[in-house]
Structure 1
Amino acid sequence: MIWIIFIAVFAGILIYYRNQGVPVMLFHQVHEGSNVKPKELESYFSYLSENKYQTITLREIDALYKAKQKLPEKSIVLTFDDGYYDNYSVVFPLLKKYNLKAIFFVNTLFVGEAYDRSATTYELADQVNSNLIANYFNSLPTQSTQYFSWEEMREMERSGLVDIQCHSHRHGMVFSNTRFKQVVNVHHVSAGDYFVLNGSVQSGFPLFKMRGELTQAGLQIDEAGKALFKEYYSGLEKQALSKKEKKQKAQQFFTEEFIQQHVHAYSDAEFKARVEKEIAENSTQINTHLSHKKALGFAWPYGHQSTVSLPWIKALGITYFFTCKKGTNARILNPDFIYRIELRKVTAKRLITLTKINSNFALGWLYRWIS
C-alpha cells in the first residue's frame, strides 16, 4: 500500500512539473572534426522544431523577467560559447532552416571586422587558441578566421535568431595554488599554460592547478623561480624515479621560503581591476560593433563561477550569469546562476533524451542532483 501511494505521488509530481523546466544547452565547435557533428545537431534541431519547443534569446528572457512573467512552457535555450566560425557557417544556416534562436557568447580578443572566407578550413579549438594566446604575449595579431567576424555577427543579429553576449575578452587563467601537477609539455602547450606562465613557456617549467582568471585572484611565479625549478627538475629526470616519486620530490621543491621569494599572490585590488578590465573590454566591443546592442549576459569561462567577482561584473551592467553546472532551470530563471547542459559525446538521441528529462522540472532537479 505504501509503495502504491509513493508511486502515485511521484507520478503526480511528474505530471505537475511537465514542461515546467527550462533546459539550457551548451555547445562549442560544430564541424566534422569536433565532438558535435553537423548531422547530429541538425537532427536535434529538427526534433525541437517538430515538437514545438520554444527557443528564446536573452533579450526575450530579460523582457519577461522584468515583467515578472514566466518563460513559456516547453522553453529551451540554445547557447554556443567562444564564437567559432563554424557557428556562423554551420549553426546559423540550421537556425534559419528550423526557425530556432540561440545565444552566442563571444571572446572578443580573437574577432576581426571581416574575412575572406574562400580558403577558411576548420581547425580544432585547443591548438588554435594556444597559437593565438602565444601571439598575444608576443604582441602579434590575435584576430583569427577560426572565429566569426563582426560583419558576420551583425548579419546574425539582424536575423532576430541570434543574440551575441559576453564570454570575457581573452578567456584567461591563473594558478590557484602551488600544488605541483606537471611540467610544461612542449608538444602540447595550452592557452592556459601561456596565461599562467605570463607568456614565458619552456619545457621543465612547473604547472599547478589552474582557474579562470575572473573567478580567483590567483598566483604568479616569477622568472627566477621558473628557472630554478627547471634546473631542479632536470636533475630528477636523470634519476630512476617512478612517476609518483618524481611528482612528490617536485612538490618538495616548493617550500615556504621559495613561495615567499618567487610566488606573487595577486591582491584583491589586482583581481578586481583584472575582472573589470576584461568585462569592460568584452562588453564595450560587443556594444560598439553591434548596432543598438546592450550586452546583458555572461558565460563564465571554463564554467568557473565566483561569488566574489559576480558583484563587480554586475556593476558593469551584466545581469545574467551562465554556468557549466548541469541541471534544469525554473521558468523564472535565477539570473545569478543559470544551469547549462553539455555533453562530451554528442548524439541527437542523447540531446533529445536530456531535453525531455530537463523539460520536466522535477526530473531536471534530480538530474542536477546526480550529475
Structure 2
Amino acid sequence: MTFRRDRLTWVAYALLAWFAYLQAAPGLVVPYLRDELDIGYTTGGLHVAAFATGSVLAGLTAARIEAAAGRRALLWGSAAVMAVGATGLVAGHVAAVTVGALFVAGYGGGLLLTTVQATLADHHGEQRAIALTEANVFASAAYLVLVAAVALVSWRAALIASFAVPLALFLANRHVPITGAPPAAATEGRLPRAFPVAMAMLFCAVAAEWCVTSWGASFAREAADVSADTAVALMFGYFGGVFAGRATASRLARRHAPQRLLALALAIAAVGFAVLWPATSPVQVLAGLAVIGLGLGNLFPFALAVTVALAPDRAQLASSRAVLAGSSAVLIAPLTIGALADATSITGALLVVPVTLALATIGLVATTPRGRSRR
C-alpha cells in the first residue's frame, strides 16, 4: 500500500516540528540561564523538569479534554498555550518565573504532542509507524534550526520568531478536516497487558535521550573546557546525528518492523556513549554526540510506534499514556542528572544513560511477540 501525505499530514508534521523546536530549547538555554541567573545544575535541571511536569499533566488530561472539546479545538488551543509559556520564558528574569513559564509551555506542548500523534495514528492506520517516523524527521530538522538560530541570534529572539509557524498554519489550515476516533475511544476501553511494560520501555528510552538532550551542552562545556557558545555549537553534532538517523529510519520503516529498528537504535546509542563519555577534546565530543544522536534520535518514534500498535483502535488513549510515560522520563531523568552532577560531576552523572539503554532493551524483548520481528 502506498503511503500518502495529504494536507492534514503536512500540518501535523509542521506542528510536531514546532513543538520539538520549543521542547529542545530548555536544554540549550540552561547554560545561558546558569550565567544570567547565577544558578547551579540542580536549578538548571528544574527548567527541563518543569516542562516535563506540564507534559505529564497533559498526558493525564488530554483524552478527556478531547472528548469534551473535540480534537480540532485541542490541536490549535494547545499550540496557543505552548506559545504563551514560551513567551513567559523569554520575558522572565528570575528562576521562579522561567521555571513556571516552562511548566505552562510543557502543558500546552504535551497536549499538542498527544494530539498530533493520535491524529497521525488514526489518519494512517497500519502505516502509522511510517507517519510517526517521518514526523520525527521534521522534528529533528527543527532541532538543527534551533541550534543555528541560537548561535546566530539571541536565544530569546530565536524562540519568539518561531511563533510565526503555528500562526501561519492556523490561518491557512483551520478548516482542514482533522481525523479523530469516536469520543468513547478516547477515554474508554482496556489497554492490553503488555502496555505497562511498553510504557516502561518508552520511559527508559526517552530518559536516555533527554539525559543527553538536556545536559549534552553542559557536558561538552566541562569535558572539553570550552565556552557556553562553543558547547551549544557542539550540540549541532548531536542534533545532526538525530536528523540523519531519523531520515534514514523513515525509509527503513517501510521495510522493517519498528521492534527491529528500535533494537538497532539502542545498539548505536550504546556505541555513541562509549565514544562520548571519555571525551576530553571538542573533536571527540563532537564525534560522540553525532554517533549517540544517530541512535537516541530514533528511540522515541520507534518506541512510540511499538507502544501505540498494542492498542491500534484506541490511539488517543494510547498516545496520551505514551506521552505520560515519556514526559515522566523527561521530568525525572534530567533532574536526576542535575542533582548527581552537583554531587559528583556531569561526567559521572551521565552514567545513567547506559543503565536506561539496558533497561529499554529488556523492555523491548519483553514486548516483542515471537515470530513477528519482521513486517
Tell whether the structures are fold-level matches, with TM greater than 0.5.
no
| Higher normalized contact order (CA 8 Å, seq sep 6+, divided by chain length) | 2
Larger Rg: 1
Bigger helix fraction = 2
TM-score (norm 2): 0.25
TM-score (norm 1): 0.25
